[in-house]
Every structure is written in C-alpha cells, then in structure tokens.
Amino acid sequence: MKKLFGLLALMTVISGVSVADDFTNLNLDSHWRALHGGLRNRTHMTGQEMRNELSGKLTMDDEWQGLSFNFDFLKKDFYNSKGSHQGNGWDNDVYFSKDFSKGPFVGDVKLGWKYEGYTDQGHGNELYFGPTVGFKLLGQEGTFSAQFVYYNDVNSQKNLGLTGIEEKVYARHYKDAGTEGIGGNFDFNFNGTILEGRYGTVSYNLDLKNHLRDATNTKDTSSDGRNTVYLDYDGVISYDSPRFYGFGIGLDIENEYEMQTGNGWYVNGFYVSPKASFKHTFDTSIGKIGVMPYVKWDAIDQQRGEYAESDDTYSGYGDTKLRAGLNISLDRN
C-alpha cells in the first residue's frame, strides 16, 4: 500500500506541472496477482506478485514539431504463498518518437531503450531505432514496425530451487543468456471493433512479432552464436458490456503462440478470462481523470509446448490465476 501511495504522489506531482510541460496523458496501474506454478497445479497458490506501472507521454513540439517523449516503468515484487518477499524486477521502456506524414504513409520514428532485470538473475538492455507506419488491409486498420536493435544481456542467474517463481525468469527475445548482439524487429498490429450495439462491444487485437537476433559476442557463455528468430503471435477477442452506473463486465479470449527458432522451444497459451470493473471519470483543471478498480480471473489458462533443445513436450496450466487492482489515468488530449 505504501508503494501505491508513493506512485500516486509521484503522479500528482507530475500532473501538477503538466500544463507547463504539456503531458498529454499519464497512467498508473497497481495490481496484485495470484500465481500457481507447476504443470498440473490449479487449486493451490504457489506465489504472489505485486505490479506497479507508471506510463505517460510528454509532447515536445517547442523543440521539434511532432516530437514526444514516452515512458513506461513497471516494478514487480515477488512473494511466496505465505507473503514473504522473494525478490523484485524492473521492466522499463523509454523512447523518443517523431511523427511523420509522407504521401499515403502516416506514422512515427522511435529511438528508445528497454531494460529488464530481476534480483540475482541478471538484466538485459536493448537499444532500438526505426519507423512505425499505419496502413489498411481488407478494410482493417493496422501498423507495421521495422526496427534495428542492439542488445546486451548480463546474466547472473542462480538456481532458486523448488520455491522459485517461474515468472521471474528473464523473458529475453534471444536464444542464449549472457550474450551480446544485433537484430531487427518486424512487427504487425491489427485492432478494431467487430460488433457494437446496445448490448455491448466486441473488439479484437492481433500482435504479430518477429524478432531476429544475432549473437555477435558470446562472452563466456556456451552459446553456439547461431541466429534465432523469436516469434510471438498474440490474438485477443474481447467483449465489454455497456456500463451501468460505472459498473461493467466483460470477457477476454486469448491465444498466444511463442517460439524460438534457434532452439526449437515453443509454447502455446490459451486463456478465457472474465473481468469486472467500475470506472468513474471527472473533469479537473489539469485534465480528465479516470479511476477504475478491476478484477480479472483466468478461468481457463491452458499451456502446451516443448522445452528448449529437447524432445520433451509438456501440457499444463500457466502462472496467472487472479488479478485485482486499481487504474488511475490523466488525459489532456
């Protein structure tokens, strides 16, 4: 709770100067997760996680028309089933973006830095640069991103034993830990509304990520230095009911397929998640503020896959079972 109040105080300070510095939006999300590790475990909680995330956008038109500074800071705290703190992690994305319009092409160019790290398990950095362009295909709107990437992974992973929380493993997009190299991101996104009426809205979001990585420096690792392509194809269909005095319910159906071509590792996750929330929005002198407490439960969270460099396949349940949190937003658009 102290961490939430601290983030709220930070958001208040930032929003207080937003008129002068022209923050167009800020978002604070704080939520708790119940985790259940193991291939067949579904009824017993094996760990807990608290996430606090602050994101926003600062326009910099005075310096350069269409230039903006964007940030997304995510702090993760891990606990065992009894509430004892087991470690923490950071997952940050900071970048400058510059809007452009050239003939039929509209989009932006990003220059950014990503960082991810976990207690006693190492950390990684990625620097990226490239454009994102909007387009239409079969009547649907989408975007395509092409980025050059430099990465450097510092690995100090240790064996946590049976009490370790699986989600603490560094979610790198390259095959081998502790390496350094270059690569490219080639990502597509499609999203839109399928149906909309008096009974609610059905929408979809489809992400197709293709990340090439080439380990140019294997350092002191056992890496073979081979190229790899990380694939992450994630599709979600969502139903959201009309809000009744601020209350709303919904359902997310998601399928995510991930694969590392360099070692044959893959996993396919299928999730059916009912959700409920209350949202209230009110106008203030600094912009429109929204407050939304929410809960979400993975009623179905089936995963199937194959271990890296192994012929052993597995089938079991994922890590996340229940989420409960609070989202606070500031919109000045």
- 117-139 pLDDT per residue, tens: 888 778 899 999 999 999 887 77
pLDDT tens per residue across span 299-326:
888 888 888 777 778 787 776 778 999 9
pTM: 0.86
Please name the residues in contact with 248: beta carbons below 8 A apart, sequence gap of 6 or more. Answer: 240, 241, 242, 276, 277, 278, 279
Question: How many whole angstroms separate alpha carbon 221 and alpha carbon 243?
Answer: 54
Please name the residues in contact with 204: beta carbons below 8 A apart, sequence gap of 6 or more. Answer: 190, 191, 192, 194, 235, 236, 237, 238
Measured in residues, the chain has a length of: 333
Per the prediction, the chain carries an average pLDDT of: 86
Q: Which amino acid is at 142?
A: G
Q: Considering the chain, what percentage of its residues have pLDDT values greater than 70?
A: 86
pLDDT tens per residue across span 88-115:
999 999 999 999 988 778 899 999 999 9
Mean pLDDT of 265-284: 93
Element (H, E) at 50: strand 47-59
Q: Is the pLDDT of residue 82 over 70?
A: yes
pLDDT interval class at 51 (50, 70, 90):
very high
Looking at the domain that runs over 2-211+276-297+318-331, which CATH code has it been given?
A: 2.40.160
214-242 burial, b at 16+ Cβ within 10 Å, e below that, comes to: bbeeeeebebeeeebbbeebbebebbbee
CB atoms within 10 A of CB 280: 12
